[in-house]
Amino acid sequence: MKLSYKIAKRFLKSNKNQTVLIILGISVGIAVQLFISLLITGLQESLINKTIGNNSQISITSFTQDYINKEEININNLYNLDDKIEDITYYLDINSLANISDDNFNLIIRGIDDSYDSIYNLNKHITSGKIKRGNYIILSENYKNKYNLKINDAIKILANDQSTFELKISGFYKYGVKALDDTLSFMNLNDAQNLFDKKNKISSIQIGISNKNIFQADEISKNIDNYLSNNYEIDNWKENNEDLLSGLNGQSISSIIIQIFVVVSVVLGISSVLAISVMQKAKQIGILKAMGIKNKKAASIFLIQGIILGTLGAIIGIILGIILLLLFTTFATNPDNTPIVEITITYISIITAFLVAIISSILASLIPALKSCKLNPIDIIRNN
């Protein structure tokens, strides 16, 4: 092994230009492979995040009624149903008509408790004030600006059942999503249940799944369905986003195809260089065989050359790929200087790139290695 390694190294050194070129070739291939795989992963993560971030992955509503009686469902049991379930919250939505400065608009008053934040991150989006016990409400900044509202201002509410209430503003929030900001307001769950005479009632239960298991939402949702009676409707994000999912799927497949082609061209590149090298070094192999080197050892010279090329190519390629990704996240930015695609460089992706380089260079050196096995020393000795 030591001799084969020594000879392999010498052979590579004796053809410096060729060696440098092929290492560059492998590096570029591996850099592109790493870049594409991380870019697509980042792209998909940010797409999924935009679609279902600040949102739950599974929701439970009543099939037959507007409200769920909270006593019918044991939240703790639900929680223990599957350890991929990370957060559970529930809320009461009251559809109402709000009246401010003689203007009427539809407003959903959502009664929430502390658990709401674990999925919807409301506190992070509260811009002033806070949720207060009693007949207080948090309204979006949209209305604050539109009607010039302040904390402690009062608004009139006309509920579905025609009863009217007066609520005081205890703060403002901004999710930055128009559909939410235009319709939602928040108050304490207990206070909402009391105020609107919906004791123990909730509109829905929302379930958050840990990030890495997000694609198992449909299975978990089936488990919940089996656990609950038929009176409940269970929805999961995958059902509601089939277009997005098939888009992501297509993207993954095309990314993998590109990566495969890059790797194939790397393999062909190494293979052709080593095949040329076998011919260039035929005389040396013949001499070594006349000196008594065994076929397997002669073949290992070319395998080792492949591994050396692959290792150096992988190291340079991974460095190159990381530089490429850093440049991309620094220069391809939104107007507010955040990167267009948030990319995280993972150990797995680097190890994968490394293995791809090593395995493809071993594959590439198989044919040249076999060729060197077949070399007959007499052909070299005789033909000078």
Chain residues in the site for another protein (CB under 8 A): 1-3, 6-7, 10-11, 13-14, 283-284, 286-295, 297, 377-378, 380-382, 384
Beta carbon nearer to another protein, 54 or 295: 295
**Least distance from another protein to the Cβ atom of residue 284, Å:** 5
**Least distance from another protein to the Cβ atom of residue 313, Å:** 22
**Least distance from another protein to the Cβ atom of residue 301, Å:** 12
| Cα distances (Å, whole numbers) of residue 318 to 125, 142, 311, 342, 351 | 39, 47, 10, 19, 10
Longest dimension (CA), the chain: 109
**Least distance from another protein to the Cβ atom of residue 4, Å:** 10
Backbone angles phi, psi at 374, to 5 degrees: -80, -15
The whole-angstrom distance between residue 304's C-alpha and the CA centroid of its chain comes to 37
Q: Which of 159, 145, 55 is nearest to 109 (CA)?
A: 159
**Least distance from another protein to the Cβ atom of residue 384, Å:** 5
Beta carbon nearer to another protein, 61 or 295: 295
The whole-angstrom distance between residue 308's C-alpha and the CA centroid of its chain comes to 33
Q: Which position has the token pair 């206070």?
A: 191
Asked if 19 contacts 309 with a C-beta cutoff of 8 angstroms, the reply is yes
Beta carbon nearer to another protein, 2 or 212: 2
DSSP 284-316: HHHHHHHTT--HHHHHHHHHHHHHHHHHHHHHH
Beta carbon nearer to another protein, 9 or 174: 9
β-pair partners for 137: 169
Q: Are strands 68-69 and 154-159 parallel, antiparallel or unpaired?
A: unpaired
**Least distance from another protein to the Cβ atom of residue 288, Å:** 7
Distance CA 356, CA 122 (A): 44
Strands (E), the chain: 58-62, 68-69, 85-100, 103-112, 126-129, 136-140, 154-159, 164-173, 184-188, 201-202, 204-209, 232-236
**Least distance from another protein to the Cβ atom of residue 306, Å:** 18
Beta carbon nearer to another protein, 125 or 281: 281
**Least distance from another protein to the Cβ atom of residue 20, Å:** 17
Judged on CB neighbours under 10 Å (0-12, 13-18, 19+), 334 is exposed
Beta carbon nearer to another protein, 13 or 212: 13
Beta carbon nearer to another protein, 151 or 287: 287
Beta carbon nearer to another protein, 149 or 299: 299
